[in-house]
Structure 1
């Protein structure tokens, strides 16, 4: 008798995803119009100077990296208008620097309370404008608010025998942390007695920054927020004699030009620049700990100045490293940050969403293809199915790049010596400690590094030879704030160091002849 074969049991199709109700860009924009009508008009944001919101500026079209939806673009000013804004900021500075500290603390606290009230809207803007998953977007807002509250509590002792700078502080920052880096710095600078100028990042974050500044200006804080190309506005925001300090966070090319300008002018400066942060593996056996940390290193698609895109691995441990690394990378979840299967579902806890734009995703994909053509070995290439497939039906995914891991990037590839600023890991194998150190120091200075080794004595011996400002023993290091010092080595930093008291010292004057600790032309001075 022939055996009866049971028919296959149909696997139910996964429910189609949809935007969580109330999270569409139109929802966020309408809330901005309601909360801060002085700063948002029609379909555009305004520029802020002299305590007033201005319609001047050429608004360029923009789309979100999340799914290609049109969003508000930055209203770009020309150089002469930016110079007017700087002169107005100097007038605000001259009045604000004489405002009693208790009043400054009260106004900053009121601004923080307003930011707290609208925390979810600020985070939703970050999701749409720069593609941060909800967990990371809310963390960015919370870190800004909590960090500045710490400074309010401690500012009295920090300002003993110190005074505001002669002119306002000018801020030019990258797009990836609008709240916890840029707004945080602006509010601390104002708390210390300075008027503050900021340029909105070219690639995203203008609506979030506009809302944050609108809430702060209502409390009487002397903030200026302008948009425009760096080349056109640099004369005003960097070289103007009215500027008391320049604070820059971004790439090395732009940073080098600003460093030259401020050095020629003898101007106070804080210049944080990219570097190839590396993770070394040498005589290491705690592979479970490495597996646990790998997913965290991919937060926000490694679009962070303290991301670790390079692993330098002892050749004899390469098989064990891969056994620990690959399962962790395969577990990563990538997709639309606001897509849910059911309207009542919470927003997804993704490791990352899109890159900042489709051009960046293509650039990295092209670099990966070119590196492989020149001899790099592809060890892992993620795709939508391996990363969870968390996308809307028919969604534009041109800004998404799934995790990639390459072994041995060729020296001719940018992936060999530069920070990719995306979810592309490269691995270099070494046989000696000298090779380990040379590979970990490939970019002439970095912000952070980590060395995983079982022997504390080995760590103590090798760590001082790694050219990174912070080096961890088997654990990642971060930018840090509050009590923690932050700076860099080589081409990754120039000017004053920051963190805790030093962030305040960097934007205030102390005893005659004092120079803030940091990297300045002609010498290196540690605190």
Structure 2
């Protein structure tokens, strides 16, 4: 095995310097605020989860620097919000075209920075650009009778979808008439987001991109008086802190948080289909907000479920996303690469070990030796697919999302037990029921506390007109997707109640 020629990190960074020299210097990446690229902040050392290669680190601002950046965004917002829609749309369209021209470079950066396999990385870029193109065709009726927010939108997002979630939201927020602030995710995506931002600001979009620690910058990016809306994507602990910071401000917010998405199997016989679905559920190592890490299975069906499950996980392919046997070989078709960091892999390994020690039954534990790796490469961020039957209730794997290729399986005997097990985390983003009878699924689905419940198929975040939100503790604030995303970042008629999950009411679409 060898690294595919032309795909080394040095190759990718050299291409960034050539494509956007204003944003990439030979020794570091820059922040962008106040309409200019700023050589400020303290670059932090970062190593790729792919093989430990040193890559560009975020230029971390302190709180005072972030405050200056927010003030600059507020100035841009006062001008941008009055720009005619046709002009905003033309600039956003030009930015999309520029990003499309650099699609493969953006995808290669995602491989190195967050470990996405090549196919998954390109899909992330494509979903961003295709989604924004859809909004460009629909935006006129979406903003009719609405006005931009009083201040810029502040985005704090997790690292796993820099393009299809974060950059997509930024482009739509600007299209709707707002200046946009984004904090680079702490764990990865810096260079990809910087290149996309550089291409966008060349077309005149009011983007601010800064780096820094969440605890240091949160008072400015969340509570700053100029902020018009806070959009957060991440875990429940960090989301709860953001929600607490917003509690007394009455400020527009969109807080997408994790939940334990469950797949229930009850009175079911379509095992061949389920095998394909289980394999697909390991896409990107389950490092997705809509991953399914928990299967709740009718006990008398467990032997058939187990056969279908083992057939799926036994066919998974993981390893170095850029490793090939011959120079001319295409990049490998992998289900997943590394986790986001070696520390995350160790944490997950410790959780699995503790769960087994307390009674969890390992029904599948692959080894790293089954992965595709370069000779002698660092594999500390990789975690082979694992499945545990009956995780102990004291384990984090029982009640929280592992955010890695680890499944837990719980057996139940009654419908009441099925529903209780599927609702273990007080709210989720998605869920699925595998039932032969449509009537059974229709009766059980309303009792599952998830925003989307699929019948014999997985649910996802969705694209274009598909709505997205969460129930219980998995979501706070306005729902998004389709027209709801635009409503969340614009002001409607007086007295309007946004669709969403708010402290004083929940309004479903």
User: With structure 1 as the length reference, what TM-score do the two structures score?
Assistant: 0.96
- C-alpha displacement of 1:522: 1.4
- C-alpha displacement of 1:43: 2.2
1:427 pairs, out of 380, 405, 409, with 409
CA distance in 2, matches of 1:210, 1:385: 36
1:65 pairs, out of 49, 61, 82, with 49
CA distance in 2, matches of 1:515, 1:187: 24
Moved more, 304-313 or 506-515: 506-515
1:374-523 residue pairs with structure 2 within 5 A? 374-386=358-370, 389-523=371-505
1:326 pairs, out of 310, 318, 328, with 310
Q: Deviations over 1:349-382 (max 9, x none)?
A: 0000000000000000110000000000000001
Give the 4+ runs in structure 1 shifted more than 6 A: none
- Structure-2 residue corresponding to 1:197: 181
- Structure-2 residue corresponding to 1:311: 295
Q: Is 1:294–2:302 an aligned residue pair?
A: no
- Structure-2 residue corresponding to 1:188: 172
- Structure-1 residue corresponding to 2:231: 247
Give secondary structure in 1 for the equivalent of 2:156. Answer: strand
CA distance in 1, matches of 2:342, 2:369: 20
Structure possessing the higher radius of gyration over alpha carbons? 1
- C-alpha displacement of 1:515: 2.3
CA distance in 1, matches of 2:14, 2:130: 27
CA distance in 2, matches of 1:74, 1:289: 43
CA distance in 1, matches of 2:282, 2:352: 17
- C-alpha displacement of 1:526: 1.6
CA distance in 1, matches of 2:58, 2:508: 39
- Structure-1 residue corresponding to 2:328: 344
Give secondary structure in 2 for the equivalent of 1:312. Answer: strand
Q: Is 1:359–2:346 an aligned residue pair?
A: no
CA distance in 1, matches of 2:310, 2:488: 43
- C-alpha displacement of 1:143: 0.4
CA distance in 2, matches of 1:295, 1:432: 27
Q: Is 1:131–2:115 an aligned residue pair?
A: yes
- C-alpha displacement of 1:262: 1.6
- Structure-2 residue corresponding to 1:7: none
CA distance in 1, matches of 2:247, 2:457: 36
Q: Is 1:275–2:259 an aligned residue pair?
A: yes
- C-alpha displacement of 1:470: 0.2
- C-alpha displacement of 1:275: 0.3
- Structure-2 residue corresponding to 1:162: 146
CA distance in 1, matches of 2:343, 2:383: 11
1:199-238 residue pairs with structure 2 within 5 A? 199-238=183-222
- Structure-2 residue corresponding to 1:3: none
Q: Deviations over 1:305-331 (max 9, x none)?
A: 000000000000000000111011000
- Structure-2 residue corresponding to 1:14: none
- C-alpha displacement of 1:385: 3.8
Give secondary structure in 2 for the equivalent of 1:264. Answer: coil
Report the number of matched residues: 509
- C-alpha displacement of 1:512: 1.0
Give secondary structure in 1 for the equivalent of 2:224. Answer: coil
- C-alpha displacement of 1:508: 0.2
- Structure-2 residue corresponding to 1:284: 268
CA distance in 1, matches of 2:76, 2:456: 48
Q: Deviations over 1:96-129 (max 9, x none)?
A: 0000111101000000010000000000000000
CA distance in 2, matches of 1:373, 1:481: 42
CA distance in 1, matches of 2:368, 2:154: 42
Q: Deviations over 1:464-521 (max 9, x none)?
A: 0000000000100000131111100010000001010010000000111112110111
- Structure-2 residue corresponding to 1:8: none
- Structure-1 residue corresponding to 2:20: 36
Q: Deviations over 1:266-292 (max 9, x none)?
A: 000000000000000001011111011
- Structure-2 residue corresponding to 1:109: 93
- Structure-1 residue corresponding to 2:124: 140
User: With structure 2 as the length reference, what TM-score do the two structures score?
Assistant: 0.99
- C-alpha displacement of 1:263: 2.3
Q: Is 1:53–2:34 an aligned residue pair?
A: no
- C-alpha displacement of 1:295: 1.1
- C-alpha displacement of 1:437: 0.3
Q: Deviations over 1:213-245 (max 9, x none)?
A: 000000000000000000000111000110000
